Structure 1
């Protein structure tokens, strides 16, 4: 049997054994798993020679380090975005705290109904079959992708609202990520349908990406707090459609809207890039663990 000197190798091996459920058969307790030290001491493991232990340990340690770096970079970017959302959109004074050079005018206040209209288009004759959902975390996505199955009753989707590309949707379902429910834009390259529980609206005379980013701020939360209610269901916020559409919002010139929208689009793309790298690294490590350990 090879000498056990590769501490990193043993560390990774034990994590792998936990992942594949090796310890579950020895664990006790329903709330917190507990394993007898004798069972740990008697665990059967396969070890390569010392130099191979060291090489495998170094590779996996490097991957863990890379994963940690991307996780931290992603957290930093998300914190930066959160700070910029607070500072680059106009507050009650009508002026943002931070602005691009060359812009100094006060933002104009208008009602949501001035730049949008509620959509009443129903899925007549079941023309569309792609059911969408409005997630606080992921935005507007296909229901099948989000839940891994169709939740809607296919025999009752004729009463669903049609959601075309760039339509906005308000979901009154509240969560930790969306205190008053999320408002998102359909960025999919196809039309879909949504339950009549959602409020669907179209917009005009405004940069759609700017408005989408504005709804990621908290500037509209006070209005919701003052004009709505959690209603009978604790997980759903209640507000009349007409009241919602009267929401006051502050908007700058179209040129400033475009610059703001582009800046946050680039920031979102960078965050997404780090998430993809993270997913790839984790998948690669998973593959290595499956192939490197017996």
Structure 2
């Protein structure tokens, strides 16, 4: 690669290409960034104030307040010293902590500076001061203000699209949580608030062990094989959306693994968690195909009996029932639960026809949520690709 190619991005707006296209400049951030001093906001925040109070992290707006905010916000980007988070204020603001750096740069359009920081910011390195690392980071940029504006507007529009899809996804997830709370009986009742027309009977209280059979997993690590026949279900296979995460782990077929095969219509439940907050424990997967999966240790196979619909079971076990599981966990930093305790927990079942309707309803809702998750992930991947190609 010659010097000319090195100093120009791979993808550029047409009017800035060609033989006479100007090169980009190379500096370190410390040569171009300016920091602005402003006192941290230490008073209480509320929902009623006029101005945003900004903190570090993924949820930058901690609240609102009145007073004398930082007003010269238009070309400003806020940088989280400990979190490497970025935020582009749209109005006057307060900062909540001294770890929020207020940054600008001479001859940098505001949205372009924000995007440049996104492209070249360092990877988080634990709880440390990242601004020092940022200042020593090499950065390439165009001095052409028209090109800056085009790039800034382009990425702002892409960010707005991502935000729109993120909000839609959050709305769907909130809708699902609301429906789970209303389409299953609340504690102390046997009739849900919302149900399909034609169903009026009370739901029947049963124990999980009464309506399902089970068999446990065992350690099969020594049978792992990159070219193995079976996909392995272990603790890392359970996503936060209770869907299978393929870690690429396979096991070959033998008399041990063949006894741990999971069949279509069965479910698997994880019985331990590597964290104390229990983000994974009790999550359940619904198996769609025969002879595709085997289970490793600390996973239980649940086989619903007649009268207990598998898809309804999947929704129930990952919803209201999982809250009960988390109440009987043991351990400290790494928690676990014994299936002997789980199978004694109670649940409520309607007649099979109503189970099927509820199961299909949540299946469709889950597919819609997954569709939005994929679209959001595609947009984020597109943005990262464009950041790499539209900057050097």
User: Normalised by the size of structure 2, how large is the TM-score?
Assistant: 0.60
1:211 corresponds, among 308, 313, 332, to 313
CA contact (8 A) 1:160 1:195 kept: no
Tell me, yes or no, if structure 1 residue 271 matches structure 2 residue 372: no
By relative contact order (CA 8 Å, sep 6+), the higher-ranking structure is 1
* Partner residue in 1 for 2:330: 230
| 3-state SS of paired residue (1:83) | helix
Give 1 or 2 for the bigger CA radius of gyration. Answer: 2
More strand by share: 2
- Cα offset, 1:165, TM superposition: 2.5
2:178 corresponds, among 58, 83, 91, to 83
- Cα offset, 1:172, TM superposition: 1.4
Tell me, yes or no, if structure 1 residue 170 matches structure 2 residue 269: yes
Where do residues 44-123 of structure 1 align in structure 2 (5 Å cutoff)? Answer: 45-47=140-142, 49-91=144-186, 92-119=188-215
2:354 corresponds, among 247, 256, 259, to 256
- Cα offset, 1:289, TM superposition: 1.2
Moved more, 164-173 or 133-142: 133-142
- Cα offset, 1:218, TM superposition: 2.6
Measured in 2, the distance between the counterparts of 1:30 and 1:208 equals: 45
* Partner residue in 2 for 1:32: 129
- Cα offset, 1:215, TM superposition: 0.8
More helix by share: 1
CA contact (8 A) 2:212 2:303 kept: yes
* Partner residue in 1 for 2:109: 6
- CA-atom RMSD in angstroms: 3.7
1:135 corresponds, among 233, 238, 250, to 238
CA contact (8 A) 2:203 2:351 kept: yes
CA contact (8 A) 1:160 1:196 kept: no
| 3-state SS of paired residue (1:210) | helix
User: Normalised by the size of structure 1, how large is the TM-score?
Assistant: 0.77
Measured in 1, the distance between the counterparts of 2:121 and 2:216 equals: 52
CA contact (8 A) 2:184 2:320 kept: no
Moved more, 111-120 or 195-204: 111-120
Where do residues 145-184 of structure 1 align in structure 2 (5 Å cutoff)? Answer: 145-146=246-247, 158=257, 161-174=260-273, 175=275, 176-178=277-279, 181-184=282-285
* Gap regions ≥5 residues in structure 2: 1-21, 25-105
- Cα offset, 1:194, TM superposition: 1.2
State the Cα deviation string for residues 35-90 of structure 1 (Å, max 9, x = none): 289x57x9653315322222221111100011111111111211111121111102
| Number of matched pairs | 276
